[in-house]
A and B are shown apart, each in its own frame.
Chain A
Amino acid sequence: MTGPFWSALGQTRTVLVASGVFASLLALTSWISPYPLSYFDVSFMASGGATTAIAAMGQTLVILSGGFDLSAGAVVSLVNAVLASQMNPMVFDASVPFWTMVGIGVGMAVGAFNGFFIAFLRLQPIVVTLATMFIVQGLTLLVLDKPGGFVSPSLGGVYMGDAIPNLLPSSVVLIGVVILLWLWLKRTRFGLALYAVGSDPDAAAATGIRTGPVIFATYVLAGGLYGLAGVFVSAQTGSGDPLVGNALLLPTFAAVVIGGTRLGGGKGGLIGTIFGAYILMVVVNILLSLNVSAYFSTIAESAVLLFAVLAGSLSKNSPLAQKLRSAQEYLKARRQGTLVSQRKQTDNRLAFAAGAPKSDTMAPGLLTRNAAMLRYTLPAFACLLIVLVITQAVLGNVFTSFRYWDALFVLCSFLAVLALGQGAVILTGGLDLSVPWTIGLSGILIAGMAQGANGALIYAIPIVLAVAIVVGTLNGLGVVALGLSPIVVTLAMNGLLQGLALLYSNGTPDGFAAPALRWIMTGEFLGFTPIIPILALFVAFAVLLLGRTAFGRRLYAIGNSEIAARLSGVNTGATLICVYVLSAICAALVGILLTGFSGQASLGMGDEYLLPSIAVVVVGGALITGGRGHYVGMFGGALLLTAMQTLLAGTTLPFAVRSVFFGLVILAAVIALREKRSI
């Protein structure tokens, strides 16, 4: 494993691993399948996985540049809707090149929209693409409000057919053409600049690369690939469905990661991604052939994801190996008695520090000291004020009625609690995608154990929190000990928890929230809903935890630079694990609160909260790459999003328009947070 040959392989190694995994899975499929794989089966598999593969290649470009694109799936749906609604149902031989260009063009237009805000206004990719995702989903429903429409069979004839009959399916040729373009692009100045920008944007700028145009072009190209994927789906299905691509988002990430591209940028490539996408597809066949119970399928997929990523990253320099070596060295030092903590604990501080004369300069005023904090927290509150005024004008009852405020605070309590957990993870530069099913599993556990009895809460709540601690610890260990990207670890954990929740509830969760829990969320205490004073305490706790404790300061230190933090003596590993535990506990609390609010738990009840939990944190002024943010701002973000949803729910605007509006507000909020160009 350590020979010069192996290290010389360098970048191609991950591709080899991915292709090896794919080949062995394919061999396994054909071995366990009762019939030999015919050309037709292979051709069908090739076109079946092509949509995911093409969209994932676009995602790879963005990730190589150091970005992240949440709008990928939405663009696929939009292109499908545009083609299905615009093609003339009378014309059966519509021009394939023309409509392919239309699809790619629509995708590129959305990509240019993303690219403009990310490259030239220097906004954070996750937030911009999140806003774009909402806007595009709304537009798609405006173009096509339900499945239907018509896609000319000529498209299907070309993309689903054979390039060489009984030898080469067209889908393989299409992917081959994209690969050739990529191999050429990689060797151009743009390709070099793409990797440079992704590795270190500051260094790239310093060497004279104009990073703005490079990033812009990346999003446009990626948009074009999503558009091509949309054209392919249209050809494959022969009609339109406004939701067809939305579920593609997570598989594209999984494909990119399995294919060996590093989240964060600068390392990887498009070819590995293709194998990643086809690995995901072959797994479906294997689960079927082995007749794996439906409840285990998400668990099996998570296992494949983790296994593929680990197989791609194991080497003598991998974090796991480093951790094992440093543990060995720790034990050795301990035996020899040379550990720092084993030395004599004497005070070595220099004498003059204590008796230093007081400085003459004035202490800066409150505003000056908190200027940076205000700069990042005020936009959320300013937007909130605007939304409140509009609500008052359109619906009334805001400033005159207590009921509005009561409902606002109750509804925002879920996001406010999640914001602490997700916010802490984001402050360290990570992301917690296991939030949805931590919420779901916690809710199901608390309802299942309590069965409507208050007494049972005494043990049910600690058990649920203990489960959350285990979940958080495993997430943290995956990030720290295995050195995997937080997105991969928490995505796999989410699938695992989904499987566990299904197994525990056997598909239909039963039981009720205990009356005490219901009272907290829906009862009355001194005129308030009881959760409101609890929420006030929670907000105070969160502000103190992040702003006034050593733990909080370590968190910011890690977010700014993990290496600098470690060299300054912060136990980064332990702190990171604590952060993921905190996030899991917050998600579990939300599961408990939601169960109290609804009176019962349901599977999938956390699904609605993942993207809002990220949006709230970022709208509240946090930087997605970590190190900057304040809980007060995140709380403001939670209030803003809830107030806006309340405003929209009180109107009869179509859902499509609301979705566009929602996206625009998120975009407006982050534009207000824009940093001046640093020198």
Chain B
Amino acid sequence: MFSITKSAVRLAAAASIAATCATAASAEKFDIYLSMSYIGNDWQAEAANMVKALASHENYADKINLKVQVAGPNAQRQIQQINAMVQAGADAIVVYPISPTALNSVVKNACDKGVTIIAYDGEISEPCAYNVTIDQLEAGRVTAEWLAEKMNGEGEVVMITGVPGTSVDAARTAAAKEVFEKHPGINVVGEAVGMWSQAVARTEMSKILATRDWSEIDGLWMQVGCFTANAMQLEAGIDAENLLPCAGEGSNGGRIQMLPAGTEVEGATLPYAPLDAPRISYASPPYSGALALKLAVDILEGKEVPDLTTLPLPVVTSETIQLCETGSWEEQKAGCNAFLPSLVSNPGWFASIYSQELPEVGLNAALVGQPEL
């Protein structure tokens, strides 16, 4: 039922665009708005940089007018903001949804007015919205399975989770726990809320370590924090060869630590250095915002786009880790997935920025918002 109305809306939108195209000059651009959530972390900043880079690439610069707004952590504000964007005459709105459900009515209203809504990373449950995301359940399952295998199915696990009350955290944590429960030898002995922040992960790990020694832990499952956990083990006097297996985030610091010890890496200083750390590294890729923008333009141009785009889960293990020289898109296409510390000075920076679909954006896009030439 809704697919009919949806295509009807799409037709209406296409018709209205055709009308504007007919009346205005042929150089008429699409007005596309980006409604971001909080901008206080690396992931959000990278995603925004990549969106801006794509918009300024020569393939898109003449097609779109991009305006960026931030809603902060307040869903009420995002509702108001999306509505203001509709009022301002948006053709499409790219959204990082603060809540998967709170936006439904405003999104429905925007769709009714012929505005295309596309969400990245989080999902919007209103059926008329397009979503670009990874399968969070799979992310939780794959990483927990890897850890269980590394531990040979037994031992004590410490879990550092994300932001409680969000669907992403709930899905990942539930999937991981399900895997651990299948292994009778594995005990979860500590669980703390890591808020997807390296700094919080360190405070929480310190609290757990106040009553438990590193030698009493056999594996770590962290949504964010493996880089920090490895650093803490080195500080505690543990040799690099004996680092615990850690399933966690796709930060560049963690990726560099996965490189074989002794690899020559420009700009590396401990703990942001090759350690041969036993890791599986995954992330919600920050390029999803740029991809959402690309799909929004495709939709406006009348191309067929599926309602849900599930991105391939970017998983990197010690077997597949490979250092990039420059970080260009071509180079990443050849398989590299970690960047020089001399280029990426912040170890918490997310390294999963390669998408086959986006030759317009490489390392410079994520770092400073400059597209590939």
Give per-residue flags for A279-306: 1 if the beta carbon is below 8 A from chain B beta carbons, else 0: 0010011011101011101100000000
With A and B bound together, what is the CA distance between A33 and B83 in angstroms?
A: 13
The reply to whether A507 and B101 form a contact with Cβ atoms under 8 Å apart is no
With A and B bound together, what is the CA distance between A408 and B209 in angstroms?
A: 10
The reply to whether A141 and B210 form a contact with Cβ atoms under 8 Å apart is no
Q: Smallest distance from the beta carbon of B297 to chain A beta carbons, Å?
A: 20
What's the interface size class on A, roughly? 35 or more
Residues of chain B within 8 A of A438, CB atoms compared: none
Q: Smallest distance from the beta carbon of A425 to chain B beta carbons, Å?
A: 24
Residues of chain B within 8 A of A608, CB atoms compared: 195, 200
Interface centre among A645, A651, A655, A656 (most CB of B within 10 A): A655
Residues of chain A within 8 A of B200, CB atoms compared: 608
With A and B bound together, what is the CA distance between A624 and B110 in angstroms?
A: 46
* Cβ-based interface call for B40 (8 A): yes
Q: Which of B42, B105, B165, B202 contacts A156 (CB 8 A)?
A: B105
With A and B bound together, what is the CA distance between A15 and B323 in angstroms?
A: 62
Give per-residue flags for A505-540: 1 if the beta carbon is below 8 A from chain B beta carbons, else 0: 011111110000000001100000000000000000
Q: Which of A34, A49, A293, A594 contacts B88 (CB 8 A)?
A: A34
A:205-240 near B, CB below 8 Å? 233, 236-240
The reply to whether A395 and B212 form a contact with Cβ atoms under 8 Å apart is yes
With A and B bound together, what is the CA distance between A237 and B197 in angstroms?
A: 29
* Cβ-based interface call for A605 (8 A): yes
Q: Which of B42, B104, B235 contacts A237 (CB 8 A)?
A: B104
* Cβ-based interface call for A640 (8 A): no
Residue in B closest to A508 when the chains form the complex, CB atoms: B45
Give per-residue flags for B60-76: 1 if the beta carbon is below 8 A from chain A beta carbons, else 0: 00000001111011111
Interface centre among B166, B167, B211 (most CB of A within 10 A): B211
Residue in A closest to B232 when the chains form the complex, CB atoms: A522
Residues of chain A within 8 A of B170, CB atoms compared: 145-146
With A and B bound together, what is the CA distance between A288 and B231 in angstroms?
A: 43
Residues of chain A within 8 A of B235, CB atoms compared: 522-523
Give per-residue flags for B33-57: 1 if the beta carbon is below 8 A from chain A beta carbons, else 0: 1001011111011101100000000
Q: Which of B83, B89, B210 contacts A45 (CB 8 A)?
A: B83
B:190-217 near A, CB below 8 Å? 190-193, 195, 197-200, 202-204, 206-213
The reply to whether B193 and A655 form a contact with Cβ atoms under 8 Å apart is yes
Contact A602 to B208, CB < 8 A, known contacts A45-B80, A241-B75, A594-B199: no
Give per-residue flags for A396-410: 1 if the beta carbon is below 8 A from chain B beta carbons, else 0: 111000011001101
With A and B bound together, what is the CA distance between A327 and B243 in angstroms?
A: 66
Q: Which of B36, B45, B100, B345 contacts A511 (CB 8 A)?
A: B345
The reply to whether B101 and A604 form a contact with Cβ atoms under 8 Å apart is no
With A and B bound together, what is the CA distance between A607 and B261 in angstroms?
A: 36
Residue in A closest to B216 when the chains form the complex, CB atoms: A397
* Cβ-based interface call for A649 (8 A): yes
The reply to whether A51 and B76 form a contact with Cβ atoms under 8 Å apart is yes
The reply to whether B210 and A285 form a contact with Cβ atoms under 8 Å apart is no
A:589-615 near B, CB below 8 Å? 594, 597-600, 602-605, 607-608
The reply to whether B89 and A148 form a contact with Cβ atoms under 8 Å apart is no
With A and B bound together, what is the CA distance between A653 and B85 in angstroms?
A: 43
Give per-residue flags for A157-190: 1 if the beta carbon is below 8 A from chain B beta carbons, else 0: 0001000000000000000000000000000000
Q: Smallest distance from the beta carbon of B293 to chain A beta carbons, Å?
A: 16
The reply to whether A236 and B105 form a contact with Cβ atoms under 8 Å apart is yes
Number of A-B contacts (CB under 8 A): 231
The reply to whether A600 and B271 form a contact with Cβ atoms under 8 Å apart is no
Residues of chain A within 8 A of B203, CB atoms compared: 411, 597
With A and B bound together, what is the CA distance between A132 and B204 in angstroms?
A: 23
Residues of chain B within 8 A of A655, CB atoms compared: 161, 164, 193
Contact A146 to B210, CB < 8 A, known contacts A284-B81, A605-B197: no
* Cβ-based interface call for B77 (8 A): yes
Q: Which of B5-13, B305-313, B346-354 contacts A (4 or more CB under 8 A)?
A: B346-354
* Cβ-based interface call for A251 (8 A): yes
With A and B bound together, what is the CA distance between A395 and B72 in angstroms?
A: 39
* Cβ-based interface call for A452 (8 A): yes
Q: Which of B33, B69, B102, B209 contacts A244 (CB 8 A)?
A: B102
B:302-355 near A, CB below 8 Å? 345-349
B:96-145 near A, CB below 8 Å? 99-106, 109, 125
The reply to whether A297 and B70 form a contact with Cβ atoms under 8 Å apart is yes
The reply to whether A240 and B207 form a contact with Cβ atoms under 8 Å apart is no
The reply to whether A241 and B99 form a contact with Cβ atoms under 8 Å apart is yes
A:13-35 near B, CB below 8 Å? 33-35
The reply to whether B100 and A247 form a contact with Cβ atoms under 8 Å apart is no
With A and B bound together, what is the CA distance between A233 and B89 in angstroms?
A: 26
Give per-residue flags for A373-411: 1 if the beta carbon is below 8 A from chain B beta carbons, else 0: 000000000000000000100011110000110011011
Q: Smallest distance from the beta carbon of B363 to chain A beta carbons, Å?
A: 13
Q: Smallest distance from the beta carbon of B120 to chain A beta carbons, Å?
A: 16
Contact A288 to B88, CB < 8 A, known contacts A141-B164, A237-B105, A598-B198: yes
With A and B bound together, what is the CA distance between A149 and B70 in angstroms?
A: 27
Residues of chain B within 8 A of A650, CB atoms compared: 190, 207-208, 210-212
Q: Which of A604, A605, A649 contacts B190 (CB 8 A)?
A: A649
B:9-34 near A, CB below 8 Å? 33
With A and B bound together, what is the CA distance between A650 and B213 in angstroms?
A: 12
Q: Which of A44, A51, A239, A294 contacts B101 (CB 8 A)?
A: A239
The reply to whether A600 and B346 form a contact with Cβ atoms under 8 Å apart is yes
* Cβ-based interface call for B269 (8 A): yes
Residues of chain A within 8 A of B171, CB atoms compared: 146
Residues of chain A within 8 A of B87, CB atoms compared: 33, 35, 37, 41, 285
* Cβ-based interface call for A583 (8 A): no
* Cβ-based interface call for B79 (8 A): yes
The reply to whether B69 and A404 form a contact with Cβ atoms under 8 Å apart is no
Contact A602 to B189, CB < 8 A, known contacts A33-B88, A35-B89, A407-B209: no
The reply to whether A146 and B207 form a contact with Cβ atoms under 8 Å apart is no
* Cβ-based interface call for A147 (8 A): yes
Q: Smallest distance from the beta carbon of B86 to chain A beta carbons, Å?
A: 9
* Cβ-based interface call for A361 (8 A): no
Residue in B closest to A301 when the chains form the complex, CB atoms: B72
Give 16 pairs: A residue, B residue, CB < 8 Å, sorted on A: A41-B83, A48-B80, A48-B83, A145-B170, A147-B99, A233-B76, A236-B102, A237-B105, A248-B74, A294-B68, A408-B210, A512-B272, A523-B235, A604-B40, A650-B208, A655-B164
Beyond the given pairs A48-B76, A251-B74, A507-B45, 12 more chain A to chain B contacts, judged by CB atoms under 8 angstroms and listed by A's residue number, are A44-B83, A52-B76, A247-B72, A247-B74, A291-B67, A294-B36, A507-B48, A508-B42, A597-B203, A608-B195, A650-B211, A655-B164
* A-B interface, 8 closest residue pairs, ranked by CB to CB distance from nearest: A507-B45, A407-B210, A146-B170, A604-B40, A649-B207, A247-B74, A603-B40, A239-B101
